[in-house]
Amino acid sequence: MTELDTASQNAATLETAPTRYIEGGGIRFAYRRLGPSTGTALILLQHFSGNIDAWDPAVVNALATDRPVIVFDNAGVGRSTGQTPDNIAAMARDAVAFIKLLGLSQVDLLGFSLGGFIAQQIAAEHATLVRKLILVGTAPKGGEEHLLAVLQDAFSQTEAPDVRLPLFFTKSSASQSAGRAFLKRAKVRKEDRDTDNGSTVTDPQAKALITWCATPDPEHALLRAIHQPALVVSGSHDTMLPADNAYAMFKALSNAQLVLYPDSGHGALFQYPELFVSHVRTFLEA
């Protein structure tokens, strides 16, 4: 990488960074890389139905001020080729393949919602690859989920300008205002935006999410196989993956911290971007 390339990468934001591609194992992964060229990279694992441009620039850009941050589309999602798997184990294998294609020997993981399931699977199976992990708005295997009911309710609210307002935020005026600000930030990028692949992504992802939570793990064997430091984050009123999941993960993990944000739903990290970034930075730098 030349000095000019490095300077350009450091100055890039989620809204301006070029979408790059790397191919291996029959899959061409789409990704964007922000921040400095050195340091432990933070890999972001996205939520159900989300792609690269569903992340909040306020979160991604702030995290990238002092560390490499990589956002990507897993197999079949957005501009990545391949088929979206219908189970978490396969999604984790694809994500690990992407990380290894980048030549990274150790990373930090930030998994949001469905991405948090994938992060748990990777951390349990690849102890030397994962240094630390952040689990946001997610659930352990066998955890509580209300995906279909919450989606049905959100899509019935036809007055909402975007389905993410009722999905990710509470009904309070403060939370809805924060939600509208998030949506505005997420729509700033106009050129080279990621693509929505509809049911070819959401159908297998929904099956994977529901199956993960429906699979009993009464002894939390997967969580107990994770020994890396973990930061568990949840909104107080997450209707999709309730905050009880966060407390269960916090208790079962051997080295975890727990943060709950007030008057917030599934998108708590987007409602409190500055506070969330501050908590993540403190955790990663400790």
Rounded to an integer, what distance in angstroms lies between the CA atom of residue 125 and that of residue 252? 17
By C-alpha distance, which of 62, 72, 43, 16 is closest to 269?
62
CA dihedral (185, 236, 168, 52) positive or negative? positive
pLDDT band at 10 (very low <50, low <70, confident <90, very high): low
Architecture of domain 20-285: 3-Layer(aba) Sandwich (3.40)
Q: Quick one: DSSP state of residue 54?
A: G
| Run of H or E residues at 230 | strand 230-235
Q: Specify the residue for token string 């659930």.
A: 139
pLDDT digits 0-9 by tens, 206-258: 999 999 999 999 999 999 999 999 999 999 999 999 999 999 999 999 999 99
- Domain assignments of the chain as residue spans, ordered by start: 20-285
> How confident is the prediction for the chain on average, in pLDDT?
96
pLDDT at 53 over 90: yes
User: How many CA atoms does the CB half-sphere of 7 hold within 13 Å?
Assistant: 3
Say how far apart CA 254 and CA 100 lie, in whole Å. 27
Local structure of 286: helix, strand or coil:
coil
Query: For the whole model, what pTM was predicted?
Result: 0.96
When pLDDT is averaged across residues 145-149 and rounded to a whole number, the result is: 96
What Cα–Cα distance (Å) separates residue 187 from each residue in 22, 215, 270?
A: 25, 36, 14
